[in-house]
Chain A
Amino acid sequence: MKFKLNLSSIFSQLLLLFFVILWITPTFGLLISSFRDKDQLAISGWWTSLINTEVSEIHRTKGKNEQSKENEVYFIRGNLFKEDKGKKILSFGVTSKNINAYIVGEKAVLKDKSEIVVFENGDYEWKSENEFKKKKGRRIFITAKSPPSFTLDNYKEVLFEAGLGQAFLNTIAVALPATLIPLIICSFFAYSLTWMNFFGRDILLATIIASLVVPLQMSLIPILTIYNDLGALFNIEAKSFPGIWMAHTGFGLASTTFLLWNFMKSLPNEMLEAAKVDGASHYDTFVRIVIPLSIPAFASIFILQFLWVWNDLLVGLVFLDKHPSEIILTAKLKELLGSYGENWEILTTGAFISMTVPLFIFFSLQRFFIRGLVAGSVKG
């Protein structure tokens, strides 16, 4: 019996490990990529940077301006690497047709009788009887052993970009109210759908569930039209923070209400009946009994709605100006990405930078989260 239990426990552990590895591998790849040299991203797989790998690179020697003359022989000396990253050259070549013609330290004789030697650490010496004439140096093709190498450059590039801090702040200014306002409104709404009797309640309930599916893209134009009309009427900006809060409230209303309704349905009936008998109004019942009981549910819905608002790009683009004072983080990262999306490394780093806040929220509210939806979905 004991043995059998252990076996099944080992099996469970292995199965879970399998799932965890499966799930984390893609993200892990992104994490590694965000620390890699940006030109390497498109050339070699991210896993190659974890181990000693053989890389093929092209470097260029100095040109004629750097030559020196010793005993009637002309020399160009230098190091191929701009910075020492611990690469060890194994072999080299002087033409793209044969990139590892010579082993390191061997003397390569060129067509014009000049000779090049490349050493393991990247030092090279090019000597010739005749004066070097070309302004641009010669390409040296190297094959080298490269130790794992990582750089913080990508993060520096993104983090120290002007305007990122403001974008961060703007996103918080969008996300907090856009999460709290639907929570407040919908908790009252869900309460009345669950515990109050009124005409058309079931129709309203059906409408809410049906509303879950309305594609957001369809709503943008009608809503912005209303905003523009209101803006013209009261002579205010049509694109503003309150505007985007309400838009997010609208798009999150159905799912927030649906989840809260599912939760409140499961609250013990007796408790509310008792409150009624004591003469408490619905408002008292709501504030004194339902809110404290619902805090776990609020926390969990808070996380879901916050995640959605935080990662949103489209709503932010439509309901706010693209000006630095209003631009949100996702839009800012897209902007850094460049007109043709040329700054690819921004994506990898940007994804992690923007992930920090939702993850922080998740970890800090996790305890509530777990207990919250439990009660929402399990008959208590």
Chain B
Amino acid sequence: MSFFSLISTVIVGVLFFIIYFGLSNFILDLVCKFKSNSVALENSVRVIIFIAPAFLVLFMFILYPVFETVRLSFYDKFGREFVGWNNYLWALNDPNFRRSILNNLGWLLIVPTLSTFFGLVIANLTDKIWWGTIAKSIIFMPMAISFVGAGVIWKFIYDYRGTGDQQIGLLNAIVVSLGMEPQAWLTISIWNNLFLMAIMIWIQTGLALVIFSAALRGIPNETLEAARIDGASEFRIFWSIIIPFLERTILVIWTIITILVLKVFDIIYAMTNGEWQTEVLANLMYDWMFRGGGDSGRGSVLAFCIMIGVIPILVWNLYRHRQEQKNEI
């Protein structure tokens, strides 16, 4: 496509939605001017106008695929014959599945916690230092790198060459210069999971940092000064003033990162492909879904398990939401 047709397509596409909202609301206003007696009707029509596009998208792109996934999880690999609970039973007996569940739990415990914690600490540090903005940009940078690029970057960290050969992985170069044996990091069971998590933390801390550093500005200076005058240590201020103040921010960040971790796929796929006991649910799902002709039944079961993982997060978010609403009243 030529430059201009491309640009015009883009403009038409975006304008379409702006015009939709503008025009439909304009018409509604016009109609209501003549029939000003039915506020309730106006409001419900307005609600429909407001949520219709999002609802349609939600239905077509999220809910329908979810129903489809649940349906397929009861069918055979071609999606032709009904097989009942067979796929679920298979999953329960599959050692890879159990390994993935364990690994995913490890990821869920460690990555959101550390990303959030590092983000919080670094945000606090950058807040007070003149070169904080530069530091912030550097720590945000990994987010702008595609996963393909991140894979290469970390290869240059974890790469292993035999003893005596020149190491091209930084970690091994350091280890060797300290006089120790080089290690094939990604093959060391259990520990290798931590090395992979490091990549995710490296990427997601940027997200947490930027949001926190913004939130920190919202803390009234007087509160902090008062605490300092009272002789509270910086550490104490951090724990008893800053953390409670940022509680809701922490929930938002924790939710987003947890969900990203639940779906973590690219890192595993690019670095180990689940070898050496680093399998996670999303990579296992990909394997069953698309490898060797694909088995949509088993793939769907695994997808379903990932989706179930959201329930605790959902419950907590809704609970907090209710609490807040109560407080307002």
Contact = CB atoms under 8 A, between A and B. Distances in A.
A12 B125 contact: yes
Contacts of A215: 263, 265, 282, 285, 303, 306-307
Nearest to A256: B54
B106 interface: no
Interface residues of B, number: 113
| A contacts with B: majority SS | helix
Interface stretch (A39-47, A62-70, A154-162): A39-47
A214 B62 contact: yes
Interface in B40-64: 42-44, 46-47, 50-51, 53-55, 57-58, 60-64
B125 A311 contact: no
A247 interface: yes
B168 A213 contact: no
A306 to B, nearest CB: 10
Contacts of B168: 41-46
B217 A177 contact: no
Nearest to A24: B138
B54 A188 contact: yes
B185 interface: no
Contacts, number: 322
A15 B126 CA distance: 10
Given A30-B152, A42-B168, A46-B170, 12 more contacts: A30-B153, A30-B156, A173-B10, A215-B303, A217-B289, A242-B9, A247-B61, A249-B61, A250-B60, A372-B214, A374-B218, A378-B246
Interface of A: 8-9, 12-13, 15-16, 19-20, 23-27, 29-30, 33, 41-48, 169-170, 173, 176-177, 180-181, 184-186, 188-189, 191-192, 196, 198, 202, 204-219, 221-223, 226, 241-242, 245-247, 249-251, 253-255, 257-259, 262, 265, 269, 281-283, 300, 304, 307, 310-311, 313, 325-326, 330, 333-334, 347-348, 350-352, 354-355, 358-359, 362-363, 366, 369-380
Interface of B: 1, 3, 6-7, 9-10, 13-14, 17-18, 21, 25, 28-29, 32, 42-44, 46-47, 50-51, 53-55, 57-58, 60-66, 68-69, 118, 121-122, 125-126, 128-129, 132, 135, 137-149, 152-154, 156-157, 166-170, 173, 202, 205, 207, 210-211, 213-215, 217-218, 234, 245-246, 248-249, 252-253, 255-256, 259, 262-263, 265, 282, 285-286, 289-290, 296, 299-300, 303, 306-307, 309-311, 313-314, 317-318, 321, 324, 328
